Amino acid sequence: MQVDTLERRWVWVTGLIVVTMLASIIYTAFKLHAQPPSNVEIIDSTQLHLTEEFAEDNLGPRSNADGSVTVVLVAHRYGFSPNQIELPAGVPVTFRVATADTLHGLHIPGTNIDTMVVPGYVSEITASIQYHEVVKYGSLHADGKVTVPIYCNEFCGLNHHFMWSRVTVTRTPG
């Protein structure tokens, strides 16, 4: 098959681009554990209040023995429960979120915490909040804490644009 020199060179260039991108993605996926949230866990969205984990009294952040934090949230029209949480920066934080009604999203600016919350499923995403990044997007307090919004980024109804909550990030020593 006759392939022009220019075309053959361009194949090498595009091949190099694709290989570099794939190598970067594979490296960060395996070495740094940067992977799309893929938790498959079903739950009855109409019975959240009857489950132990998503009962009103058990919502919010809790510290684990290994220093990480697990946050349990319920998304609903038009807000998140609880609507104010406080998290430390620089430690792994796992969000477990379920919706009580329709499709919602969860996004915290300045972080890679961004997931859909689908009715009937528990969404789970783990990330570490970088203080120097969230400080660009939030309100800095005199004591060094930063408050950033938690947004719903999936259209969920007429008041979708009013659906947000707050997370206050505390700076960890060191």
Partner 1 sequence: MSKVTPEEEKEILNSSPKGTFALMLAYGAMLLVAWLLLYFGRYMALGPAS
Cβ-based nearer residue to partner 1, 24 or 139: 24
Minimum distance between the CB of residue 151 and partner 1, rounded to whole angstroms? Answer: 15
Among the listed residues 147, 106, 116, the one whose alpha carbon sits nearest the alpha carbon of residue 38: 116
What count of other Cβ atoms lies within 10 Å of the Cβ of residue 105? 21
Cα separation, 67 vs 77, whole angstroms: 32
User: Which one, 22 or 140, has the nearer CB to partner 1?
Assistant: 22
Residue position matching structure tokens 């909040």:
129
For the bound state, the minimum distance from the C-beta of residue 46 to partner 1, rounded and expressed in Å, comes to 29
Least distance in Å: CB of 24 to partner 1? Answer: 6
Can you give the length of the chain in residues?
Answer: 174
Query: Considering only CA atoms, which of 164, 170, 166, 14 is closest in space to residue 78?
Result: 164
Nearer to partner 1, 28 or 46 (CB): 28
Contact 123, 96 (CB under 8 A): yes
Closer CB to partner 1, 45 or 111, in the complex: 111
Smallest CA-to-CA distance from 148 within 128, 126, 170, 124 is with 170
Shortest Cβ distance from residue 172 to partner 1 (Å)? 13
Residues that bind partner 1 (CB under 8 A): 4-6, 9-10, 13-14, 16-17, 20-21, 24-25, 28, 32-37, 110-114, 125-130, 133
Q: Which residue's entry shows tokens 């379920």?
A: 98
For residues 34 and 140, which CB has a smaller minimum distance to partner 1 in the complex? Answer: 34
CB of 41 to partner 1, least distance (A): 15
Largest CA distance in the chain: 72
Q: Judging by DSSP bridges, how do beta strands 79-81 and 146-151 pair with one another? A: unpaired
